[in-house]
Chain A
Amino acid sequence: MTVSINPDKTRQAFIKKVESISRQNLKACYQCGKCSAGCPMAAHMDILPNQVIRYAQLGMMNELLDSQSIWNCVSCMTCNSRCPKSVRIAEVFEALRQVLLRRREDHLFTQKLSQKTLGELPPIALIGSFRKLTS
């Protein structure tokens, strides 16, 4: 894959937005891969955590916002705890979700959950998922 680095305005605006919501310096990452190595959700990610950071550095908005990875991250903080550069990877994932959620593009649709499911699930699961996956 050829990646061209240019000061394209859309890309810069996206990078700035992600950095601002997450309050992270994306360029601090030097791609050691430790985040992906320890991620319990890596098997369910189409773009691995270290790759997410790289894509974000390059402002690859569409690839990131279309990925399953951002929704399958559960903010367990294993990556953050282990990053040798103190990059808060989970905050970057949250910022990516927020970019979509702030456009009212939800990932969870409560009307699709059956009454039985709603009755079985504890409030801790329901509220947690609403807060993470809906606007």
Chain B
Amino acid sequence: MSAPIKLAYYPGCTMKNHARNFEDATWSAMASLGVEMEELKRWNCCGTVYSLAVDDIMRRLAPIRNLIRAKQGGASEFATACAMCYNTIKRANNHVKEYPETLSRMNEFMDQEPDYHGDVSVTHLLEFLRDKVGFEAMGEKVKKPLKGLKVACYYGCLLMRPRSVAFDDPENPKVMENLVQTLGAEPVDFAHKMECCAAYKTVDRPDIVADQTYKILTSAKGQGADVVMVSCPLCAFNLDQRQELALERHPELRHLPVVYFTQLMALALESGETALDSKRHHIDPRPVLAAKELV
């Protein structure tokens, strides 16, 4: 057996709450791959959304503080499974590298922390799996190929946009599709894979989110998808929980279960079925997986 790969891991708030199933699946799937994850000590909220106001220094402190925590723990790189955390931290990191005067003001402000010098990098777990573990090596560890399962890979907005954070083609990425193929399932191409789910509008305008959910799921279902696979807990909430409101507004909606990419990994790697905790899903993925004899 090859030597374990070590990985500094940043969870983020929703992984510890509503997306606990995402976090559990991530730990068990990574363990099956021989990756030793270590959670960053004293991590804090990433800030959730990246401030686009150039002078808004205050809202870049939270992501930069996490980079300092990584450095304190001896890591020059860390990965996060949540697309929003990835996006916010990576963009803040890019920003301070581009604007050193902003970084020095931030360092002065955080006078009880060691100075940050832009020398820690952030990766998304999908990028880590593709580049460090390798899909070929992962394929060798698949115990239960997800045969016959048609998966719509939904990227949403934050994994590949803006271009400065993209780790694949920003208009037509393939990393999720390649992962799905590695797991023995079949990716389906659909027009809405890069379309935004309307994100945090779920708080003040759930109607807008429900309409986006209807469009995205109908597009995926039209291509024969059995499940939609995501990497963002907010996309998951909107595409799954908001199906209730989407159905009220669009009675012709056909339900689709929504799963995290690490849940499908845990299933194919036989890392433990706790990863599919049905309490955390609005539309339970088990029936469709059972129909394919996968659970």
Report which A residues bind B (CB closer than 8 A). Answer: 20-23, 40-41, 43-44, 72, 74-78, 80-81, 88, 90-91, 93-95, 98, 107-108, 113, 117, 120-129, 131-133
Interface size on B, residues (CB 8 A): 45
Nearest 10 A/B pairs, CB to CB: A128-B200, A76-B196, A94-B52, A76-B157, A77-B161, A122-B18, A129-B203, A129-B200, A124-B14, A127-B48
| Minimal Cβ-Cβ distance residue in B for A127 | B48
Given contacts A22-B53, A81-B163, A132-B49, contact A126 B203 (CB under 8 A): yes
B163 touches A131 (CB 8 A): no
| Minimal Cβ-Cβ distance residue in A for B241 | A120
B199 touches A74 (CB 8 A): yes
Within the complex, the shortest CB–CB distance from B292 to chain A, in Å, comes to 29
Whole-angstrom CA separation of A43 from B212 in the bound complex: 11
Report which B residues bind A (CB closer than 8 A). Answer: 12-14, 17-19, 45, 47-56, 59, 82, 84, 157-158, 161-163, 170-171, 194-196, 198-205, 208, 211-212, 233-234, 237, 241
Residues of B within 8 Å of A125, CB to CB, are 199-200, 202-203, 234, 237
A21 touches B53 (CB 8 A): yes
| Minimal Cβ-Cβ distance residue in B for A91 | B52
Within the complex, the shortest CB–CB distance from B211 to chain A, in Å, comes to 8
| Minimal Cβ-Cβ distance residue in A for B84 | A124
A81 touches B161 (CB 8 A): yes
Within the complex, the shortest CB–CB distance from A38 to chain B, in Å, comes to 9
B202 touches A94 (CB 8 A): no
Residues of A within 8 Å of B158, CB to CB, are 76
Whole-angstrom CA separation of A9 from B94 in the bound complex: 36
A131 touches B47 (CB 8 A): yes
Within the complex, the shortest CB–CB distance from A7 to chain B, in Å, comes to 25
Whole-angstrom CA separation of A93 from B53 in the bound complex: 10
B49 touches A75 (CB 8 A): yes
